[in-house]
Structure 1
Amino acid sequence: MQQAGLILANRAYLDHESPRWADSPSSAGNGGLLAAVRPVIAPWDGRSGTTWIGAGLGRFDREWTDDRGFELIETPRGPLRHRRLYFGSSTWHGHYAEVSNSFLWPLFHLVRHDLPARTGYYPVPSTPGGPDWRSFVAVNTAFAEAAAEEREAPWCWIHDYQLSLVPDLLRERGFAGRIGFFLHIPFPDIETARPYLEPAGWAAFRKVVEGMLGADLIGFQTAADVDRFHRAALEMCGAAPLDGAVLHHGRRVRTAAFPVGIDIEDVLDVARKAPVSPRVTAARAAGLPLVVGLERGDFTKGIPERLAALTRAFRRGARFAYLGIAAPTREGVRAYDALEAAVDLALTHARAAAASAGGTFSHVRANVGWEDVVALQRDADVVFTSSLSDGQNLVPLQAAIAQSLRPPESRAVILTGRDAGVASTFSRFGFDGLVAIDPLDEPAMAEAFCEALAGLPGRVSDRFIQDIRRRDAHAWATGFLAVLEGPC
């Protein structure tokens, strides 16, 4: 399998936030996409290797690149040939804030329920106006044109919904290599989404589906996502179903589920050396089990619902120490305004209930270092995630691997939303530490949480850990590329 291809992502491998003269090189983050793709980066030797194309969003990016946006970045796998594409602020705002994150992001997470109606804070997908849609097309076109210049590349792997038009645009430009597209988030149920797709929204969504259909291989997180995509492609674009594919304009487009995995050794390396948090020490001293909720502060994560379940548990007399961390995300995107109000109201009730029950409660909105995140995942007694819908959600997998350093009898129970990809990918492990819950059923979620405090129905097991190892990031990335490069 050749690994010397193209990787296209909305974001760069890293952002340069320091000038060259400062002698403080930027470091790559630990986002899910970066961690998952890193294992297939082939070192650049001057003629071949991986080329990563992403947007130039760092304050000092232009100081580090040539006039075409190219630079070499040192990575754990060797030099990476990297190209940054630069966009004006209004173009990027229309592409990213308006179309990608005010329209597509809330739309794509409508996999089962009408979440705007059910929650009161989940935003209605905002149909993009003409200028914003033109910005979305312009950014996708720029990525396609940059990739088309790499005429010798054997494949191009395009990542996620922000670049969903690129596969078809790249094919139109005569790219000779294989084109792969992977959707890291869920794909929506067309019937659930339909009320928000008339008429301009329907047209925009149809263009997104058509764009994805330009790929040779489209990867999804779950088999359910594949099925939902097939229904949309058939109804919206006239595609015909085939075994493991759809037929579109006489061309067979393969589709399959490739659940994303994590970088096992990265988590273990950090978990082995990370110090115990003072919050953990305080909880242990008070004789309280530690419950952690670590998520981005996103309206898809079910944070108000989780807080309501915790409040119910406290009111039932449960005593525990809770630490919630919601990392700020997509700041400046108006779709998030209602979430903050819902979280604030839920926090008021949770704090009062914790005080009455003799527990402790803390919830902060902050970016926390990777070492601190892994340490909390390792030392928690319950890891509480509650996504209303999610592509995969890597937090439960990271937590299970970090917990593997503890004796089996003292490991945590991990709760996850039933519409997160991790719940279906690892559905066999409901008695091995991964419990799927319905975030919209508050009494049932509170009941499952109280059982988890007692280690029920089972703590993280070696069997669960081994399956996570088998499905790690390397297996995911190499598996996708093997299918992409295999026989059509």
Structure 2
Amino acid sequence: MSRLIIVSNRVSVPDNQGAAAAGGLAVALQAALAERGGVWMGWSGKSSGDIEPEPLVLTEDGNITYALTDLTQTDVEEYYQGFANRVLWPICHYRLDLAEYGRKEMASYFRVNRFFAHRLAPLVEPDDIIWVHDYHLIPLAAELRQMGFKNRIGFFLHIPWPPADVLFTMPVHEEIMRGLSSYDLLGFQTKYDLENFAGCLKREGMGVENSPGHFSAHGHNFRGGAYSIGIETAAFAAFARKAAAHSMVRKARQSVEGRDLIIGVDRLDYSKGITQRIDAFERFITNNPAHHRRVTYLQITPKSRSEVPEYEAMQHAVAEQAGRVNGAIGTVDWVPIRYINRSISRPVLAGLYRLAKVGLVTPLRDGMNLVAKEYVAAQDPDDPGVLVLSRFAGAARELKGALLVNPYDVDGTANALARGINMPLEERRERWRGMMDHLLENDVSRWCDTFLTDLRAE
């Protein structure tokens, strides 16, 4: 079998105990690559200042080679903080109002992708399969093609892909589309994302769809498909069962004091709908006085991209909003919202999912959302909780047993919370069973196998 090379912006190198860092992309790729062996290449997360980064640092762990490179401080500011996270991220999440264009940032984005290609090139063997991940590295295949590489190269987008009218507001949308057209296989989270891509391609005559999922553009034939990413379902379920004995989970159970627990877990990001969610929880308590002092809402929100002004401002806004709600409806012996602004270890997180009567996952826009899947996998089959899920998350296309909500509709989300808290046991079991069966069948290994099988197919 040919080797697999994975390229992503960041690389999750295992710690001394062999465990990868928590996080949707990191966990999924660690599980996928560990089965096959090969190379995982990307940015180390470190800056070399103003000097040229040192050569790749290669680390062996089992049958995986981790290849890390530093970036200059200018590259970090312009490629990562600039174009990737202040142009591509907001555009792909339909937030035109937050996209800030700058020519030097755009130029840096393409320059760093060229840099990645040149660093990767010496590691590539003729029969290697290359799998590139996410919006930071869209032009990478085009750079490798220019260098003469004929390898099969696939790309998977973990975030949403917008419709033409949204994408075309970006000054370099043609270059981005040309970059995507250089891959042999494009993977999107949902068929809606794939349809949006096809619409972008055809709108201005950039390419044609010869047959469903088969495209021609910029002199290259390629395929596109929907490959909804999964989690390590069975392993996470076992993880959650064992987590009940964790000391911190036991303390959390005791601190809830018999109250129903609602849990939300998100990176601090404007796409996650956290402020709307807090409003909905307040409305739920206000409209349902019987639940006053009988429910605790735990929101776990690790800091994210604090160096980007929009994220720093949001951090203050969410903390202030949680404080306002606690001051308005809390009592001496009841803090309605517990807001934690740091990371929680996976064992503890799995145990907290299992404790929660309701999982509240309401992004304004999300490619998939693995928190929703982890919450379902963590539940006790005899007494499962209820998933309240945004219809604008990719996971809503799969998790049919969830209560789907419009996160912009505060009253609608509040009503779903009331329904979830009060749902009869038999209905909870029925809804959970269908979702869990789907997640067991469509786990991260199947996601990886399906994509790679299609990528290898000529």
The two structures have a TM-score, normalised by structure 1, of: 0.84
Matches within 5 A, 1:3-18: 4-14=3-13
**Do the aligned residues in 1 keep the contact of 2:384 with 2:428 (CA within 8 Å)?**
no
What is the root-mean-square deviation in Å for CA atoms of aligned residues? 2.5
Are 2:322 and 1:347 equivalent residues in the alignment? yes
Q: Distance in 1 between matches of 2:78 and 2:47?
A: 20
| Paired residues for 1:307-456 under 5 Å | 307-316=278-287, 317=289, 318-319=291-292, 320-355=295-330, 360-403=336-379, 406-408=380-382, 410-426=383-399, 429-430=400-401, 434-455=402-423
CA deviation digits over 1:407-434, x for unaligned, max 9? 43x21001111111100133xx23xxx2
Q: Quick check: 1:12–1:56 contact (8 Å CA) kept in 2?
A: yes
The CA distance in 2 between the partners of 1:384 and 1:436, in whole Å, is: 10
Alignment partner, residue 84 of structure 2: 100
Q: 137, 146, 152: which one pairs with 2:119? A: 146
Could you say which residue in structure 1 is the equivalent of 2:445?
474
Question: Which residue is equivalent to 2:434?
Answer: 463
Q: 1:263 aligns with which of 227, 232, 235?
A: 232
Describe the shift of the 1:374–1:137 C-alpha distance in structure 2 as closer, same or farther (beyond 3 A): same
Q: Indicate how the Cα distance of structure 1 residues 359 and 92 shifts in structure 2: closer, same or farther if over 3 A, else same.
A: closer
Q: Please list every run of 5 or more consecutive structure 2 residues that lacks an aligned counterpart in the other structure.
A: none
- Partners of 1:262 and 1:398 within 8 A in 2: yes
Among 138, 146, 155, the alignment partner of 1:181 is: 155
Structure-1 separation of matches of 2:277 and 2:57: 44
Q: Out of 231, 245, 270, which is 1:299 matched to?
A: 270
Which is worse superposed, 291-300 or 229-238? 229-238
Please list the CA deviations of residues 227-254 of structure 1 after superposition, one character each: whole Å capped at 9, or x if unmatched: 0111112235611122212211342220
Q: CA deviation at 1:28?
A: 2.4
Question: What's 2:221 paired with?
Answer: 252
User: Contact (CA 8 Å) 1:4, 1:42: kept in 2 or not?
Assistant: no
Displacement of 1:385 in angstroms is 1.1
Q: Answer whether contact 1:182 1:220 (CA < 8 A) is retained.
A: yes
Q: Structure 1, residues 16-53: CA drift from partner, whole Å, max 9, x if none?
A: 8xxxxxxx678521221222223332689xxxx41111
CA contact (8 A) 1:412 1:455 kept: no
Alignment length (residue pairs): 440
Deviation of the 1:14 alpha carbon: 2.0
Measure how far apart 1:105 and its partner are: 0.6
Which residue of 36, 39, 44 maps to 1:56? 44
C-alpha deviation, 1:346, in angstroms: 2.7
Structure 1 residues not aligned, in runs of 5+: 17-23, 61-65, 117-122
Residue 20 of structure 2: aligned partner: 28
Following the alignment from structure 2 to structure 1, what is the Cα–Cα distance between the partners of residues 278 and 2? 44
Task: Identify if the C-alpha distance between structure 1 residues 218 and 207 changes in structure 2 by more than 3 Å, giving closer, same or farther.
Answer: same
Is residue 46–residue 71 contact of structure 2 (8 Å, CA) maintained in 1?
no
Report the Cα offset of residue 462 of structure 1. Answer: 2.2
Asked whether the equivalents of residues 304 and 311 of structure 2 are also in contact (C-alpha less than 8 Å), the reply is: no
**Corresponding residue of 1:136:** 109
Instruction: Tell me the residue number matched to 1:126.
Output: 100
Q: Hey, what's the Cα distance between the residues in 2 that align with 1:13 and 1:398?
A: 19
State the distance in 1 between where 2:34 and 2:357 align: 39
Residue 56 of structure 1 aligns to a residue whose secondary structure is strand
* Offset of residue 264 of structure 1: 2.2
Identical-pair percentage: 26
Show the counterpart of 2:261: 290
Question: Mean Cα displacement is larger for which, 246-255 or 464-473?
Answer: 246-255
Pairing of 1:212-251 with structure 2 (within 5 A): 212-236=180-204, 238-243=206-211, 244-251=213-220
Aligned-partner SS, 1:57 = strand
Q: How far 1:192 sits from its partner (Å)?
A: 4.0
Q: Distance in 1 between matches of 2:334 and 2:26?
A: 41
* Distance of 1:247 and 1:258 partners within structure 2: 20
2:183 counterpart of 1:208:
no
- Correspondence for 1:72 among 52, 59, 80: 59
State the shift of 1:193 in Å. Answer: 5.0
Structure 1 residues 325 and 227: CA distance shift in structure 2, 3 A: same
Distance 1:87 1:236, change over 3 A: farther
Where 1:246 maps in the other structure, the secondary structure is: strand
Q: Residues 400 and 87 (structure 1 numbering): CA distance in 2 closer, same or farther, change over 3 Å?
A: same
Measure the CA separation in 2 of the matches of 1:441 and 1:338.
23
CA change 1:155–1:234 in 2 (3 A) is same
CA distance in 1, matches of 2:111, 2:250: 46
Asked if the contact 1:36–1:476 (Cα under 8 Å) also holds between the matched residues in 2, the reply is no
The CA distance in 2 between the partners of 1:68 and 1:25, in whole Å, is: 27
Q: Partner letter of residue 330 of structure 1?
A: R
CA displacement, residues 125-151 of structure 1 (integer Å, 9 cap, x when unaligned): 111x22222221121112222333313
Match of 1:38 among 30, 41, 50: 30
Does the 8 A contact of 1:223 with 1:257 survive in 2? yes
Does structure 1 retain, via aligned residues, the 8 Å contact 2:214–2:223? yes
Post-superposition Cα deviations, 1:376-430, rounded to whole Å, max 9, x if no partner, equal 1111111111100111100111111110xx243x21001111111100133xx23
Which residue number in structure 2 is paired with residue 166 of structure 1?
140
Structure 1 CA distance, aligned partners of 2:28 and 2:81?
24
> Are the structure 2 counterparts of residues 133 and 249 from structure 1 closer, same or farther at C-alpha, using a change threshold of 3 Å?
closer
Aligned position for 1:21: none
How many Å separate the matches in 2 of 1:425 and 1:160? 21
TM-score by length of 2: 0.89
Residues of 2 paired with 1:108 and 1:43: CA distance? Answer: 31
Does the CA-based 8 Å contact 1:102-1:334 persist in structure 2? Answer: no
Residue 308 of structure 1: how far off its partner (Å): 0.2
Summarize deviations over 1:126-185 as a string: whole Å, max 9, x none: 11x222222211211122223333132431100000001112111222112101000000
Query: Residues 206 and 236 of structure 1 are in contact (CA less than 8 Å); yes or no, is this contact kept in structure 2?
Result: no
What is the alpha-carbon distance in structure 1 between the residues aligned to residue 4 and residue 115 of structure 2? 18
